[in-house]
Amino acid sequence: MPNPLQGAQFVLAAHRVSQLPADQGAEVAFAGRSNAGKSSALNALTGHRGLARTSKTPGRTQQMVAFSLPPYRDVPVSRAQDAQERPPAATTGGSAQDLRLIDLPGYGYAKVPLEMREHWRQEIDRYLHQRRSLRGVVLIADIRHPLKEFDRMMLDFCFASGLPCHLLLTKADKLSRNQAAQALAAMRKSFPDGLHATAQMFSSTAGTGVDEARQAVAALLRQPRDGVHQDREG
């Protein structure tokens, strides 16, 4: 199966939302605790082993990192304003447009100063509420453990704003197939009614769920802007 995320390239690392690439096109954000395997997941999904920095010391990602994707067709235009924001080659339905993956700073595990943690809490909040090109969130969580406070906060935000969320339950290779299936079923059952969320088992080491996750991210990138960012319009 062709990889829709192949060809991803590093663009920049931003300390503030204002330093990110122009807010046009479509992007999907990757969020999760520092020890959940977020960088490994990004590398597996893009087929680029060295794209996102991995380390035995969790918490090395302490900036918002933007990766560009090659343009592809069949990305719907939801509004005339969308067309005005895009490059000339992306003014009609089905045309290519700017596509990005945004790696948000790992949270909750890194031994960083309290001041830095507060900075990133504010910047992540600002990013989620203000970034109009954001089409969805991929939340990374270790399948062996219950969701943490940050994970629940992210799901709550997606629920409140109508933003789609795809949950990758990583390190599925650490459990038996039956244990992993039970954990996935329990996670799906815990989602509140009305939450636009999907979940799957995933292992960057064993390759479990990689193709499924690639298709899920591509589907998020194809989401029209209408129907998301409801609390940001106006």
Name the one residue in this structure whose structure tokens are 């304003």: 81
Chain-centre distance for alpha carbon 231: 19
Topology given in CATH for the domain delimited by 9-229? Rossmann fold (3.40.50)
| CA-based radius of gyration for the chain | 17
Which portions of the chain are predicted below pLDDT 50? 57-59, 73-96, 230-231, 233-234
Give the pLDDT of residue 33: 86
The DSSP annotation for 127-192 comes to: HHHH-TTEEEEEEEEETTS---HHHHHHHHHHHHHT--EEEEEE-GGGS-HHHHHHHHHHHHHHSP
Question: CB-based burial of residue 163 (10 Å sphere; 0-12 exposed, 13-18 middle, 19+ buried)?
Answer: buried
Give the pLDDT of residue 222: 93
Token code pair at residue 234: 């106006």
Give the pLDDT of residue 188: 94
- Give pTM, 2 decimals: 0.84
For the beta carbon of residue 172, count every other beta carbon within 10 angstroms: 26
- Would the CA dihedral through 172, 174, 177, 183 be positive or negative? negative
Chain-centre distance for alpha carbon 211: 16
Instruction: From 50, 169, 40, select the one nearest 106 (Cα to Cα).
Output: 40
Residue spans of the domains in the chain: they are 9-229
